[in-house]
Amino acid sequence: MDAKLVAKYAAPVPRYTSYPTAPHFNGDVSAATYSDWLGALHKGASVSLYVHIPYCDRLCWFCACHTKQTRQYDPVARYLSALNVEIDTVAELTGKRLNVTALHFGGGSPTLLSAGHIRELGQRLRDRFNFAAAAEISVEMDPNDMDEARFDALAAIGMTRASLGVQDFDARVQQTINREQTFEQTRAVVDGVRLRGVGSVNLDMLYGLPHQTEDSIAATTEQVLSLRPDRIALFGYAHVPWMKKHQTMIDDALLPNAEARLVQAELASRLILKAGYQSIGMDHFALPTDSLAVAARSGRLRRNFQGYTTDQADALIGLGASSIGLLPQGFVQNMPATGEYERRVLSGGLATVRGIVLADADRMRSWVIERLMCEFAFSRSELLALFGEAAARQVIAEAEMFVAQDRDGIFVRAGNRFVVTQRGKPFVRSIAAVFDAYLGQGAARHSIAV
């Protein structure tokens, strides 16, 4: 890969797990707005639930999630009391008439919860909502939290997918990012969930970490592959110390540059593909029989705040501090600060503090960006059919101009389709940014694009 090409397209841009992206949400969307939107969901609407647990018993220095470290369980128990009230409030506003097709527990560390609280939370959600028989229930797991009681509790609530962060198995890398987790620990958790009938395992890897080398990336990749996970996510480390202060514990001088990051990513990708996995979008891989791979081959792949997904639900409802939801009218986000979140919910209301009402132009650009991120292409005729010629004219003109000005061979028009070339795929975030009407507005900063 040409170093000049990497430098040109590695400028910081969003990850596009939503559009408009979260920095452009505003305070015009309130708890009252959200209440109205929930009440307007039609009877029998399919929904995906996201439950956020913003606590960890240790803070990994690479993490960019909304979370905090606690060595006491009392704050977690208080938070769960408020979370239960929010679940009840949402269920009341929707009349318990929603059909849940997917549930994701994220964090933080959801497995920090006690086995009893895991069971209680799972049961409350089932009591308040109608779960489809084939609902996917995924849980982000920290192997350091796990014991037999938690394994059994997760099985009891119907977990269908376990998601484990690996990052890198190299001891020096782990020490530098404050995430010590042996291969043996990870293997024990994979074996533990499979023993309890969990049919899908996802492992997350990171490249671009301090002290990572091609050798350490290759070794970690081979160890991950030896566990034969159903899905693998290969994320680039997002270094955003201006937003996450604990990342200042990582010395910038130890981080690989953009060109080295791309070499690491391509090395891991080659090894994963050689092992028989299918490439999904820009940073996911799945066994050919996995539902994510099937969705990608059939053009049904989606992208949301959990990354690439098969989720086709009518709405995403976020529960917990900082959680983001998407309803037909737009995005909503809860108060990130746990104390204020608890106060708002326990006072009998919702904790929504911001969001954005989607305009028709937002929906159109969202569709284009999602297709680029999922399929590396979008269809001109499909765009016109969905949004009309008058609306689509501007986006088509932008695409035509990009193609005409592209001297690097990363974006072309192929008949009816605008296509990201093989050369351009590592820079798909930068290509998607061409169609982002909000980019450059405000003071938002992002991680580099490779």
Q: Quote the pLDDT of residue 448.
A: 62
Q: What is the chain's length?
A: 450
Residue 336 lies in a domain: no
The fraction of the chain above a pLDDT of 70, given in percent, is 98
Q: Is the pLDDT of residue 61 over 90?
A: no
* pLDDT above 80 for 119: yes
Q: How far apart are CA 253 and CA 270, in angstroms?
A: 27
Half-sphere exposure of residue 376: CA atoms within 13 angstroms, side-chain side: 20
- φ, ψ dihedrals at 170, nearest 5°: -65, 130
Of 60 and 20, more confident:
20
Residue 66's pLDDT is what? 82
Query: Exposure of 385 by Cβ count < 10 A (0-12 exposed, 13-18 middle, 19+ buried)?
Result: exposed
Non-local CB neighbours of 264 within 8 Å, separated by 6+ positions: 207, 208, 212, 214, 217, 256
Q: Assess contact for 292 and 307: CB atoms under 8 A.
A: no
- State whether 423 and 282 are in the same domain: no
Task: Looking at the structure, tell me whether residues 386 and 260 fall in a common domain.
Answer: no
- In this structure, the answer to whether residues 136 and 238 fall within a common structural domain is yes
Q: Is residue 346 part of a domain?
A: no
Cis upstream peptide for 27 (omega within 30°): no
Residues 384 and 296 in one domain: no
Amino acid at 235: F
Render pLDDT for 206-216 as a digit per residue (tens, 0 to 9). Answer: 999 999 999 99
Same domain, 315 and 408: no
Are residues 160 and 198 in contact, defined by beta-carbon separation less than 8 angstroms?
A: yes
Query: Which is more confidently placed, 403 or 64?
Result: 403
When divided into structural domains, the chain yields a total of 2
What are the pLDDT digits (tens) for 188-208? 999 999 999 999 999 999 999
171 located within any domain: yes
Structural domain containing residue 368: 359-436
Closest CA to 296 of 306, 310, 307: 310
| Type of residue found at 13 | V
What's residue 166's pLDDT?
Answer: 94
Shared-domain flag, residues 166 and 301: yes
Is 138 found in the same domain as 275? yes
Same domain, 43 and 182: yes
pLDDT for residue 94:
93
Is residue 450 scored above 90 in pLDDT? Answer: no
Residue 321: pLDDT over 80: yes
449 is a domain residue: no
User: What pLDDT, on the 0 to 100 scale, is given for residue 97?
Assistant: 79
- What is the rounded distance in angstroms from the CA atom of residue 313 to the CA atom of residue 290? 19
| Residue 1 in this model has a pLDDT that exceeds 70 | no
Between strands 55-56 and 231-236, the pairing is: unpaired
Residue 449 has pLDDT above 60, yes or no: no
Q: Which residues 6+ apart lie within 8 Å of 136 measured at CB?
A: 101, 102, 103, 160, 161, 310
Work out the angle at residue 25's Cα, subtended by the Cα atoms of residues 20 and 30, and round it to the nearest 5 degrees. Answer: 135
| pLDDT(442) > 80 | no
Tell me whether strands 161-167 and 307-309 are parallel, antiparallel or unpaired.
unpaired
Q: For a pLDDT cut of 90, what percent of the chain falls above it?
A: 85
Residue 85 phi, psi (nearest 5): -65, -40
Q: Which of 263, 291, 319 is the last residue of a domain?
A: 319
Mean pLDDT, all residues of the chain: 94
Query: Which tokens belong to 266?
Result: 């391509």
Q: Does residue 84 sit in the same domain as residue 185?
A: yes
Same domain, 280 and 390: no
* CB-based contact 285:291 (threshold 8 Å): no
Cα distances (Å, whole numbers) of residue 393 to 382, 388, 397:
13, 8, 6
Rounded average pLDDT over 117-125:
98
State whether 104 and 154 are in the same domain.
yes
pLDDT at 447 (0 to 100) = 63
Domain boundary among 319, 351, 385: 319
CATH assignment at residue 431:
1.10.10.920
Assigned domain for 247 exists: yes
* Whether the Cβ atoms of residue 53 and residue 105 lie closer than 8 Å to each other: yes
Chain centroid to CA 3: how far?
29
User: What pLDDT, on a 0 to 100 scale, did the predictor assign at position 127?
Assistant: 95
pTM over 0.75, yes/no: yes
Tokens of 414: 């192929």
| Within a domain: 344 | no
Looking up residue 284, the CATH number of its domain turns out to be 3.80.30.20
- 308 within some domain: yes
Domain termination residue (choose one: 319, 342, 375): 319
Is position 210 within any domain? yes
In the predicted structure, residue 62 carries a pLDDT above the cut 60: yes
Alpha carbon distances (Å) from 74 to 109, 113, 115, 144? 15, 11, 15, 20
Q: pLDDT, tens digit, for every residue of 248-301?
A: 889 999 999 989 999 999 999 999 999 999 999 999 999 999 999 999 999 999
Instruction: Indicate the range of 38-42, 257-261, 280-284, 340-344 predicted with least confidence.
Output: 257-261
